[in-house]
Amino acid sequence: MSSPDEFIAITDPGEAGREDHSIVDRLVIQISNLFAWFYPILMMAIVSQVILRQAGHNQAWLDDLQWWLYGAAVLIGIAYAVTTNSHVRVDIFYEGFADAKKARTEVFGLAWLFLPFTLLAWDMTLHYAVASVVADEGSDSPNGLHNLWILKVFLNTSFILIAVAIWAAYVRNLARLTEPVLWKQLFYALPATLFAVNLVIYYAVYWVVRLTGPEDQRVNRITREAPFEEVAFLGYEVSPMVLAAFVVTAILIGAAYMLGRKPAAAKG
């Protein structure tokens, strides 16, 4: 039997399965490793605040700093846990699955469930962050940490990191099933691909309309008028942006398929 210390010994979660990690996985882990230092710093910030307060020098900004550090670190932690495959699961059945079935479960969970949500959360926090920047939002407390917008922009940005981590983990798992060429990557993550394409089209069209529109256009009306206005389609009112997303996604996957075929055809 090994010694107890070996069982208790701590390991670096980012090093497990390193040989399978792509450069993107490593990037997520490097960023997370950097942010991991926020925890010892947070510990010192808390201790300093307790000591300073006992000495009669309460620092309001230290109170703010605590949840700034915590908030930034745990958001990055979500991406880290994606890369290290640590998100908790019920594994009574999973344990017994064949490798391919495990990989399919991962692909579905990452690309069909979590990635679309991450894109949604990114889009939802984008408006929130922009509003905060525009208002130059500060702290609740007069002596607190100002520039609260930094943290809100950080929240928004962290979803991009989470999305990147998911995509890298998804491709890693797809490789266990099939050769992960580009068209397959796009196709096996269809809901996420569709949604991402939809977001790109939406914001592209929005900015084209906004920048080319008349000087006196009302910015908050843009998304309610043409070309955003919903159109009738198979008995439903559908946004043209959604229809465009379907078309563009099909073209995209088709193009990736053709491009991916060429070298193989040349060889034959």
Partner 1 sequence: MFILETLGLVMDLNQLAVLAMFLMFIAFLFRGIPVAYALVGVSLIFVLIAEIFLDPNRSLFRDVIEFDRTGIDYRRMGALGGRLFGSIVKNPVLVALPMFIFMGLMLDQSGVAQRMMRSMQTLFGAMRGGLALTVLLIGIILAASTGVIGASVTLLGVMALPSMLKQNYFKPISTGTIASAGTLGILIPPSIMLVIMSDQLAISLGDLFMGALFPGLLLGALYIVFIVVYGFISPKAMPAPENPPELGWAAVRDVLLSVVPPMFLILLVLGSIFAGIATPTEASGLGALGATLLAAANGKLSMTVLKDVSRSTMNTSGYIVGIFLAANFFAFILRRYGGDEIVEAMVTSAFTDPYMIVVFILFIIFLLGFLLDWIEITLIIMPLMLPIILGLGLEIDGFGVVRDPEVVWFAILVAVTLQTSFLTPPVGFALFYLKGVCPPSVSLGHIYRGVVPFVLLQLLGLFIVFEMPWLVTWLPSVAYGN
For residues 25 and 79, give the distance between their C-alpha atoms in angstroms, rounded to a whole number.
10
| Strand segments (E) across the chain | 231-233, 236-238
138 binds partner 1 (CB under 8 A): no
Q: Residue 166's closest CA among 129, 120, 112, 105?
A: 112
The 8-class DSSP code of residue 226 comes to T
Q: Which stretch binds partner 1 (CB under 8 A): 19-27, 105-113, 177-185, 255-263?
A: 105-113
Please state the length of the chain: 268
- Residue 174 CA, chain-centre distance (Å), reads 19
CB of 180 to partner 1, least distance (A): 20
Element (H, E) at 152: helix 148-174
128 binds partner 1 (CB under 8 A): yes
CB of 18 to partner 1, least distance (A): 13
For residues 31 and 77, give the distance between their C-alpha atoms in angstroms, rounded to a whole number.
10
Of 10 and 264, nearer to partner 1 (C-beta) is 10
Position among 21, 80, 170, 249 found at the interface with partner 1 (CB under 8 A): 80
Q: Which stretch binds partner 1 (CB under 8 A): 84-92, 169-177, 207-215, 252-260?
A: 84-92
| Residues between 23 and 52 with contacts to partner 1, criterion CB under 8 A | 32-33, 35-37, 39-40, 42-47, 49-50
249 binds partner 1 (CB under 8 A): no
**In the structure, how many helices (H) and strands (E) does the chain have?**
10, 2
| Residues between 221 and 240 with contacts to partner 1, criterion CB under 8 A | 235-237
For residues 134 and 231, give the distance between their C-alpha atoms in angstroms, rounded to a whole number.
33
CB of 209 to partner 1, least distance (A): 17
Of 165 and 186, nearer to partner 1 (C-beta) is 165
Of 72 and 186, nearer to partner 1 (C-beta) is 72
